Amino acid sequence: MTPTRSRTSVAMLAALLALGTPLITSCGDVAQSVAEQAAEQAVGGDVDINDEGVTVTDDQGNEVAMGTDVALPDTWPAEIPVFDGGSLSMVSVQDDGTVSAMWLTDGTPQEAGDAYGAALESAGYPQSQTSNMGGMIVTEYNGNRYSLNVTSIEADGQTTVMLAATPD
């Protein structure tokens, strides 16, 4: 399987499993074990399903976790700060250094974007541009070997902060 196809497969499988996690975990350990084994065969890696969500790691080291307040993987680059003040609902770390994450928070998009932006700038990522498109705030940061794109948007009374980071 090619690296791009593998990453796509891991992400799609993680999303499907995250949607079915409540049903799988409510059926007990046997159903959870069967679902994990089937998923592991599909991606050629490791799948962990629990009450909080699902984590999929393929044979190349690509990792995707989705769910409720998921844990940051050990492979997250230390030089990229995480958003403080939200619940991590999705995280992906790829073997090529690309990372993405999504946090949910109660603050406004402006407050969340400003708070995360201050943390990024303190970590050596100066802001290169920002735009506000109808309440969706998109800001780019460059430095410290990465280009980062941070998007914050409100929907249904909750703000989502999304990070996409690619190595330079």
Domain count, the chain: 2
What percent helix, strand, coil does the chain show, rounded to 5? 30, 40, 30
What per-residue confidence (pLDDT) applies to 53?
83
State which residues of the chain have pLDDT below 50. 1-28, 30-32, 34-35
What per-residue confidence (pLDDT) applies to 3?
47
Same domain, 104 and 166: yes
The β-bridge relationship of strands 53-58 and 146-155 is: unpaired
Same domain, 94 and 168: yes
Domain that holds residue 103: 72-168
Residue 135 belongs to a domain? yes
Residue 65 belongs to a domain? no
Same domain, 82 and 140: yes
Residue 77 belongs to a domain? yes
What per-residue confidence (pLDDT) applies to 38?
54
Q: Residue 119 sits in a domain of what CATH number?
A: 3.40.1000.10
User: What phi and psi, each to the nearest 5 degrees, are found at residue 11?
Assistant: -65, -45
Same domain, 123 and 148: yes
Same domain, 83 and 147: yes
pLDDT in tens, 64-92: 898 988 999 999 999 999 999 899 999 99
Q: Which runs of consecutive H residues, i.e. helices, occur in 27-156?
A: 29-43, 109-122
